[in-house]
Amino acid sequence: MLAKFAAKNFRGFRDRIEIDLTRHSNYTFNSFAIKDGIIKNGILYGPNGSGKTNFSLAIFDIVNHLSQKWKKPDYYSNFTYAGDRNLVVDFEYTFIFNGQTVEYCYGKDAMGVLRYEQMSVDGKQVFRRAERKLTIDENEFPMGDAVKKNLADNANNVSIVNFLITSYPLAGDNYLLLMSNFVNGMLWFRCLETREFIGLENNSTLLDEFIIRNKLVGEFERFLKEVSGQQFKFAAPAPGDKNLFCEVGGKKILFDPISSTGTQALELLFYWIKRMKDATFVFIDEFDAFYHFKLSFEVCKLLFKLDCQVFTSSHNTYLMTNDLLRPDCNFIVHDNKIKALCDCTDKELRFGHNIEKLFRGDTFRI
């Protein structure tokens, strides 16, 4: 699981910004949100322009860096802090796999070229490459001087992690493979004017076609009713159909033109939930931009039942309630900082407190 993350010089973050998912309180309610001592579920709040989206994209840089999964085509168009394009962008990840703490850090320039890379496990350095020099634990990864020199020069921008994974026989529970599997299971997506995603998949998919091909029409119909209360009667797909049709007044009508933006967002959510069986870490940016506030609550309950780590960003303070999460799982992003609600006040927060009312009353100061 992802335990900690920090970034510096990325987009709007001139200073270092960090989230520590091992820092949780001893609340006894909603214990599902903590797994193996790590925060499993959370919601990020913050004013417009505070950096919620940028922070989530920063977390997913490792997907662009190590995996071959789908990437945003314009990812590097606004990569470094705007005040100085010559800065190196720093990323720091801490993972915990089977009790082992894996710390992985690297830096990139404005074009996405690696400038340094290092890893340690349980405090012991595995490798470090910087300034055309490479030090590596040769007891674990023996290599000749020529290979070592080529990796140190790294003219073709090869990640040391990917090189080690593809060049050495590793046990299935090796920390490098566990990290690689985790990264390949990461998913970021949003549904605003356009639908965008990073990770998990290799290609984009037509949602109607996916539902029809996988014989999920009936399940999608039930999903819409259970989550949002909407009752659509879908026609049985004919051979070769790639679009969903609804039965209205005895006639077949295309689903897309008669569905609201919120319903279309639910179709996207349904698709990803079907794919999340392979997910490890999910971030949904502005997940409820088109949802009614009560629908947002029901969707969160559904998402937080998943086994993987799931985080969202939102402006909907109706979700800021102990009936859904806990004060250590609701985060505020502001002024290049991110803090849990319980760390933003001296007040002891209990289950019976109206967290939303306290938030609106300016109780929480970051």
The pLDDT assigned to 156 comes to 72
Please report which confidence band the pLDDT of residue 192 belongs to, taking 50, 70 and 90 as the band edges. low
List, as one string, the DSSP characters of 167-184. HS---TT-HHHHHHHHHH
What angle separates helix 217-228 from helix 261-275, to the nearest 10 degrees? 120
Q: How far apart are CA 107 and CA 117, in angstroms?
A: 7
Closest-CA residue to 89 (of 185, 178, 12): 12
Contacts of 9 (CB under 8 A, 6+ apart): 80, 81, 84, 87, 88, 89, 90
- Number of neighbouring beta carbons within 10 Å of residue 203: 6
The pLDDT assigned to 203 comes to 63
* Distances 68 to 1, 155, 343 between C-alpha atoms, Å: 20, 20, 38
The pLDDT assigned to 129 comes to 94
Least confident residue range of 89-103, 199-213, 331-345: 199-213
Q: How far apart are CA 325 and CA 10, in angstroms?
A: 29
Contacts of 325 (CB under 8 A, 6+ apart): 30, 33, 41, 42, 43, 300, 304, 319
- DSSP-based three-state secondary structure for 10: strand
Least confident residue range of 30-44, 183-197, 267-281: 183-197
**Parallel/antiparallel/unpaired status of strands 309-313 and 281-284:** parallel
Please report which confidence band the pLDDT of residue 110 belongs to, taking 50, 70 and 90 as the band edges. confident
Least confident residue range of 71-85, 164-178, 338-352: 71-85
The pLDDT assigned to 39 comes to 98
The pLDDT assigned to 233 comes to 93
Amino acid at 319: L
pLDDT digits (tens, 9 = 90+) for 73-91: 677 778 888 767 788 999 9
Q: How far apart are CA 118 and CA 135, in angstroms?
A: 9
The pLDDT assigned to 70 comes to 65
**Model confidence at 347: pLDDT above 90:** no
pLDDT digits (tens, 9 = 90+) for 24-82: 999 999 999 999 999 999 999 988 888 899 999 999 999 988 987 766 667 777 888 87
**Model confidence at 149: pLDDT above 70:** yes
C-alpha 102: how far from its chain's center?
18
Q: How far apart are CA 312 and CA 287, in angstroms?
A: 6
Sign of CA dihedral 213, 218, 219, 220: positive
Question: What are the two backbone dihedrals, phi and then psi, of residue 284, each rounded to the nearest 5 degrees?
Answer: -110, 115
Q: In what order do the strands lie in the sheet with 337-340?
A: 195-198, 186-191, 281-284, 309-313, 41-45, 330-334, 337-340
Q: Can you give the pTM of this predicted structure?
A: 0.86
Average pLDDT over residues 154-163: 85
Q: How far apart are CA 27 and CA 31, in angstroms?
A: 8
The pLDDT assigned to 167 comes to 93
**Model confidence at 227: pLDDT above 90:** no
Contacts of 39 (CB under 8 A, 6+ apart): 21, 22, 23, 24, 33, 309, 328, 329
Token pair recorded at residue 153: 């020069």
- Pair 60, 187: CB distance under 8 Å: no
Q: How far apart are CA 209 and CA 217, in angstroms?
A: 10
The pLDDT assigned to 194 comes to 54
Higher pLDDT, 266 or 59: 59
The pLDDT assigned to 261 comes to 81
DSSP class of residue 243?
Answer: S
